[in-house]
A and B are shown apart, each in its own frame.
Chain A
Amino acid sequence: MKPAKFDYYCPKTVDEALALLEEIGFDGKIIAGGQSLVPIMNMRLSTPEYLIDINQLKDLQFIELDGSKMKIGALTRQTEIEMSDAVRKHLGLLSEAVPYIGHVQTRNRGTFGGSLVHADPSAEIPLSLMALGGTLHIASKEEVREVNVEEFFVTYLTTDIMPNELLTEIHVPVPEGRTGYSFHEISRRHGDFALVAAACQLSIDDQDRISKVRLVLGGVDAVPLLITDASVMEGEHLSAPLLNKIADMVDEAVNPESDLHATADYRRHLAKQLAVRTVKTAYERARGENNERS
């Protein structure tokens, strides 16, 4: 199992990388951590003519708290996110989600931005970012544009990024006030792709009424699925009838497929269970009641 031939380029600066992309981006691929790309190249499911290695672009490797937002460089390794005290303190959802990605040995190499542009619909980072909200900064030779995460994912393994563009950094708003989060997934074995994954971040007011909620499900559609109807929870206390309503809403919204690993029905069942579980945990945490990892 060896990859097909390709030409290799290793730009030293972002400008150099963007100039290369302009020239050969349409027939080439960017390689960052390579933990998804190299397996599919080894299996020859992907045979790019050119590989542009961005591992030397150290300017894209950072985690920085800037006022009310966290800025994360696209080349930041998943392990760095996992170990970051700033991320644990301000973006707890991300800290909870990252250990579910692959294994220690692949997280040492895999990057934050790489997972986003690969856009596997069951992957943890796309799901978490969708729940946290945020903007992606995408550079080309001509300009840098900002895309909201809601507009970024197009379909399976496809994003809004054009072949001449490079994801450079991601800005994530730091949640304020009484906020809780929860991430949970079910997979056949630890480290496998999730059959279904769920992420929730919600805020409550001083009367414990839900003021803002974002619930996202993975593995049940072509993109991380933001349950927009979950906003009916806003203004309400969490209750058993409300949780039943959420389960019904999820049942309505998801569109899972059957494959070798699980049937569509089973995925649908998991989606409802995980949605209820993450909302409940996030609510308890917002009230300061549940600090255990779900």
Chain B
Amino acid sequence: MTENGRLAEFEARIRRGEKIEPGDWMPEDYRRQLIRMISQHAHSEIMGMLPEGTWIARAPNLRRKMVLLAKVQDEAGHGQYLYHAAETLGATREEMIEALLSGKAKYSQVFNYPSLSWADMGVIGWFVDGAAILNQTMLARCSYGPYSRAMVRISAEESFHMKQGKEQVILLSQGTAAQVAMVQDAVNRWWWPSMMMFGPHDQESPNSPVLIKWAIKTRTNDELRQDFVNQIAPEVMELGLTLPDPDLHIEKATGNWIHGPIDWDEFWRVVRGDGPCNAERMAARRKAHDDGLWVRQALEAYARREAGVAAA
């Protein structure tokens, strides 16, 4: 079959709603875009452990500590599901880890902000995981089978992340004056970084058209962001809290909550490595990688011994 014929057949499969599986023919650009997206997503899960990890030892009680520990452990597991999904496309773990550690690969900008108080653990769960779930629910319908299946699993597990966070925000918002002030401060700091998680506006998102044509993504950045505002804004207000957006208002005709302008200069600054915690996060990641060297060496020694035993 000619290259064009194959492409036409591939696109017909996508239109029929079929899943593309690892051994199937796919355009090189489909493979490249998926590896880029899935590995970035995996890196985000791994880097996403850092802002919360720092609060595990300072959790206010045993219940909250177990919950936070479980959430951070899930994120490590989600990173694994995703690295495996990328490997089905021919990417190797070493290439991907190397790209992360060298700073070549990107991860979600939101993890380059500091977590300053315990209330951040509530707000991160509600806003950051809430935003991630919207994105992942969309990706669960992705045309690439292994990515879609990883997303189904991850979305199901992350609804616990979101709900444990929201529960804390609700309780803190009904607590003492100091607790209310603490949670309002956390909301103020995490709102815009969470809104930016969906990425640039549609007209400025160069990859979007091809990603949508091949059903890697099935909805646009702005559509998902609109769902996010509609979900969160009214409930934050019901709690007596405010969002740091003076332009936020409900549009009568559509029922949509319309937000004010997003500071894209800040977004690109953080993406390019100059956010409040980029250097700290990368240093923590590299240290964890170096500290884990003995584990990798022990595993390799075990593998060599097993191979030797098998050969003998």
A-B interaction: no
